[in-house]
């Protein structure tokens, strides 16, 4: 996420160094290249854009985010109108600004580095968590990052980096939960994720112009989502080798209750409209 202090118009000149922001995001994305399974599997997950059903949500988010950027370029609408995070407008009731910033970017370099990071980690998390849980985690992380930014960062901001940090936090929780099953592989990946996050956070602290609250909030939001409702691997009892595992959702009743509450809410709205 990238903050600035002046009024945001069609041309977004952020107060953040483009080189620094790019290095920050690329480092986060690149850190997962060597921590996400075999080289062949990584190449398949990242390379089969729009062709692999196991990364359908990742591709959908990338397409939607790039589409939003194209609209920014093709229309005369300002970024303020598109839904960038502006604290005063959120306080006035425009709560949708807690969601829309994760799909908006201040320029092509900003978009490219965030989509590079998402394309690096997204397919792994989606294949591990499942399609629905991946989407829920991404949105929860983005929402948490924008809310933290709203509470503690007074300047306008936008970008998908908070949600991407959230995917890293969710993956770390998953690996920690399954260290007894994944062994050294989990330890290796946790160290790499921890190192990457530490470098990124340390870099962010060196500049007051980077929205560290958005990054940190997204990280914690993704981790919390995975901790309370994330996937949990269990060994199949009928497999004597102990190698067969299946995935179940932690606190599945909580997730089902939430989904039912949302459905009931929309059903009530439909009845009122009639």
Q: DSSP letter string over 185-206?
A: HHHHHHHHHHHHHHHHHHHHHT
Is 215 one of the catalytic residues?
A: yes
The residue annotated as part of the active site, out of 215, 225, 237, 244, is 215
Is 178 one of the catalytic residues?
A: no
The residue annotated as part of the active site, out of 120, 161, 178, 225, is 161
CB 105 within 8 A of CB 65: yes
**Which of 247, 245, 217 has its CA nearest to residue 231?**
247
CB 128 within 8 A of CB 231: yes
Q: DSSP letter string over 192-257?
A: HHHHHHHHHHHHHHT-TTS-HHHHHHHHHHHHHHHHHH-EEEEE-TT-TTS--EEEEETTHHHHHH
* φ and ψ of 33, to 5 deg: -60, -40
Alpha-carbon distance of 253 to 231, in angstroms, equals 13
Active site residues: 161, 215
């Amino acid at each position: 996420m990238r903050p600035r202090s002046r009024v945001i118009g069609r041309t977004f000149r952020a107060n953040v160094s483009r080189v620094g922001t790019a290095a920050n995001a690329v480092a986060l994305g690149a850190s997962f290249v060597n921590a996400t399974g075999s080289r062949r599997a990584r190449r398949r997950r990242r390379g089969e854009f729009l062709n692999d059903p196991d990364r359908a949500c990742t591709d959908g988010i990338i397409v939607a985010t790039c589409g939003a950027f194209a609209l920014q370029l093709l229309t005369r609408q300002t970024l303020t109108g598109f839904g960038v995070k502006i604290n005063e407008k959120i306080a006035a009731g425009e709560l949708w600004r807690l969601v829309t910033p994760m799909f908006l970017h201040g320029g092509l370099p900003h978009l490219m580095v965030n989509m590079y990071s998402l394309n690096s980690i997204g397919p792994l998390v989606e294949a591990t968590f499942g399609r629905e849980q991946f989407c829920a985690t991404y949105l929860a992380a983005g929402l948490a990052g924008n809310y933290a930014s709203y509470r503690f960062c007074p300047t306008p901001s936008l970008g998908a980096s908070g949600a991407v940090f959230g995917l890293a936090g969710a993956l770390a929780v998953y690996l920690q939960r399954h260290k007894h099953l994944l062994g050294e592989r989990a330890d290796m990946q946790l160290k790499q994720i921890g190192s990457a996050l530490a470098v990124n956070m340390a870099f962010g602290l060196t500049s007051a112009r980077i929205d560290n609250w958005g990054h940190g909030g997204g990280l914690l939001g993704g981790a919390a989502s995975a901790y309370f409702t994330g996937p949990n691997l269990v060994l199949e009892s009928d497999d004597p080798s102990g190698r067969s595992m299946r995935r179940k959702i932690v606190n599945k009743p909580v997730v089902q209750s939430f989904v039912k509450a949302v459905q009931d809410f929309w059903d009530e709205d439909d009845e009122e409209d009639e």
